[in-house]
Chain A
Amino acid sequence: MAKAESAGMGMNKTGIGTAPRLSKEMIESSRTGPVSQGNSGTPADLRAQYIRQGNNVGSVPPPTSMKGVAKSALQALKGEKAIVLIDKLAERLAFERTGTRLYETLIQKAHAIETGNGKVVAGLERICQEELSHFHMLWGCLEKLGADPTVETPSADVSALASQGIPKVLADPRTTLAQCFEAILIAELVDNDAWERLIDLANGFNQTDMVQQFRQALSQEAEHLAFIHGCLTKEINREAGISS
């Protein structure tokens, strides 16, 4: 039977209190033993040597289509600075696509744990569908701008790098629903913040249609955040035996 509780009393061995005699010896040897003096410069110096070489993770390619709507849309944008918008649209697209998969994984876990709470699963399924529709909507936005929506842009790449731990938590068969809600809460917090900035950016480029679509997406994301926040609180309270 799958575990429903995040923490139970057990044989955790990571603290010094588990092994009083060994830890006493350990502390004594560390207190009296030598430390490395280090004479090869500082970590900051070493890192600066690489940072100052000025490389970045990659670039945004030029638009693939310069016809019709795309051409006029691009002209309306401010020259080369349009790549900032394209980069950020592609970042959101990648995030929403990965988000769809994250929710699929979470739904599978909720089913496997047999929470008995149909509302939670139904809520997760709705979010999963909305993440997918955001992905499709952003795909359309990039196409309208004449940009290639299949490109992984630098912001998409770095954003995925920053959130690499989330799918790992969700897919681990040992993690509980509460632990998974906590992980996906990180994604939802980032997502809400990113949609707000994307609206500002689209506004700055006078993309009124996009602004409208993005506001609707943000309102859905705010519901996602509230739902996950609520699920997490309920789950922790349940584990702690506190009535909510």
Chain B
Amino acid sequence: MALDLMKEKGVPLEEQLLSFNWRDMVQLPVSKLDDDAFTKVRIILMNGIESEQLRFKHVCGRMNEHLQLALAQVRRVEQFQQTTINWLLPADMSPLEITLGYEQVAIEVTASIAQNEPDPYLAQVYRFGLLEDFDHLYRYSALYERTEGKDPNNILQSYTDILPGRPTAEEHRAPEDDLRNYYKCSSAAPITKMNAYTLVGGEYQTHDFYMTIGPMFSDPLARQLYAEIAAIEEQHVTQYESIIDPNESWLEKWLLHEANEVYNYMSCQQYETNAKVKAIWDRFLDYELGQLHFVIDLFKKHENRDPAEVLPPELPEPIRYESHRQFVREVLEKEVHLRARGTEFVDKEDANSPSVQHRQALNQHGAPSEIVAQGYRWMPGTELIQKKSAA
């Protein structure tokens, strides 16, 4: 049944703050081996969604003195929500295994979003980004097999192909080729706004994660690869951030952030297979509805506008947490050659374009993404299955 955002009031904010304690926030993690890969995909994405709330609300607070207390109140709850979610990841997942999970999020969630997006230009933006994250999974899988000696499909559980996409070494672009046209807040469909807000959160946390764990590797090849892919994630944040209408007011953006959280928790709730994790999605969906209504009141008070101008009466179709293998393959076949020129996508770049020069400088001593995956082909049990051994 569709959720009526105006009628469903959720849990009042003041009750939320007092509902947390350390034991509740730090629960036993999910199982790397037994839980479904999509449970981990949801955990990773929702950590990103919550971290985006803190990031946005801090910047908003710096620019809006009159909102600082209200922002701090909501942020405090979100800090605890993020902790509850992120601490569900188990310690037996190595940083590189979590990385594979991050790329699976980027592929499967972006694929769902690209198919749900009614604006053809934005759907193209999502497909463009999708093929780049798809390639990252291939490069990290090669690193994982060749350094940890393990099978990346133990993490991916056969939902996501491990193949080259748009080569990472060719994804480096000049800043002017990373900006895109933005949706118009007055006319864009609600799902368009939800899609953009979701991906900004997801990509931002991916960038921050790689920047945090990159230096924790001792292998210079791994350190270079994380440096290289983190640079692309920064480009992706630039791309996805630029599709959001900068003319939305601060409070309008805040309202959309809350609505996006409701939308995402609802999506997770509908697909979750782990009962304990589902209970967390259920609980936080009610919290988000409470936070949304807290902001609706602020929106009415400070902007003197009807929140119905910004919020849809019902939430759009949820993110589909399932394998999008067929869609990804079709996009790969038809669009892997595309490159960006300004805000548009073209079949071929000019030989002297700023992006080509940028890339040549970065890759002048070789690209780690190429070095790590030379001749790499995934197979069950890893590529060592085919390597001949002594009798």
Contacts and interface: CB of A to CB of B under 8 A. Distances in A.
Contacts of B175: none
A127 B31 CA distance: 34
B119 interface: no
Given A97-B382, A133-B390, A136-B389, A57 B150 contact: no
Q: Which of B34, B94, B220 has the most CB of A within 10 A?
A: B34
Interface in B271-307: none
Contact of A58 (B32, B91, B391): B32
Contact of B218 (A100, A150, A168): A168
A174 B256 CA distance: 49
B390 A132 contact: yes
Interface residues of B, number: 33
A183 B170 CA distance: 38
A55 B92 contact: no
Given A101-B146, A102-B149, A172-B219, A150 B389 contact: no
Instruction: Say whether chain A's binding surface is mostly helix, strand, loop, or mixed.
Output: helix
Contact of A171 (B145, B150, B218, B387): B218
Contacts of A100: 149, 384
A126 B390 CA distance: 8
Nearest to B220: A173
Given A171-B218, A171-B222, A152 B154 contact: yes
A161 interface: yes
Nearest to B146: A101
B18 interface: no
Contacts of A94: 149-150
A150 B92 contact: no
A98 B148 contact: yes
Contact of B390 (A129, A157, A160): A129
B90 interface: yes
Interface string B29-56: 0011110000000000000000000000
B239 to A, nearest CB: 33
A150 B222 contact: no
A50 B147 contact: no
Given A58-B31, A59-B34, A173-B220, A167 B390 contact: no
B390 A98 contact: no
Interface string B137-169: 000000001111111011000000000000000
Contacts of A158: 92
A49 interface: yes
Interface string A139-155: 10000000001111110
Contact of A57 (B31, B149, B381): B31
A135 B145 CA distance: 14
B215 interface: no
A171 B23 CA distance: 38
B2 interface: no
A161 B97 CA distance: 12
In this complex, the interface size class of chain A, counting residues with CB under 8 Å from chain B, is: 35 or more
A50 B28 contact: yes
Interface string B89-122: 0111010000000000000000000000000000
A97 to B, nearest CB: 5
A91 B100 CA distance: 22
Given A58-B32, A58-B33, A97-B382, A161 B146 contact: no
B351 interface: no
Contact of A160 (B23, B91, B150): B150
Nearest to B31: A58
Q: Which of A49, A104, A157 has the most CB of B within 10 A?
A: A157
Contact of A129 (B147, B149, B389): B389
B92 A157 contact: yes
Given A130-B390, A132-B389, A173-B220, A160 B148 contact: yes
B380 interface: yes
A173 B217 CA distance: 11
Contact of A169 (B23, B217, B218): B218
Contact of A172 (B92, B218, B389, B390): B218
A150 B146 contact: no
A154 B92 CA distance: 10
A133 B391 contact: yes
Given A97-B382, A152-B151, A152-B154, A157 B28 contact: no
Contacts of A164: 94
A57 B391 contact: no
B201 to A, nearest CB: 29
B151 A150 contact: yes
Interface in B196-219: 217-219
Contacts of B28: 50, 53, 55
Given A101-B148, A150-B151, A161-B91, 5 more contacts: A104-B146, A135-B389, A136-B389, A150-B153, A150-B380
26 contacts: A49-B23, A50-B28, A55-B31, A58-B31, A58-B33, A58-B34, A94-B150, A98-B148, A98-B150, A99-B149, A105-B147, A129-B389, A129-B390, A132-B389, A132-B390, A133-B390, A136-B389, A149-B381, A150-B154, A152-B151, A152-B154, A160-B92, A160-B148, A167-B148, A168-B218, A171-B220
Query: Which 5 pairs across A and B sit closest by C-beta, in order of nearness?
Result: A58-B33, A98-B149, A171-B219, A172-B218, A133-B389
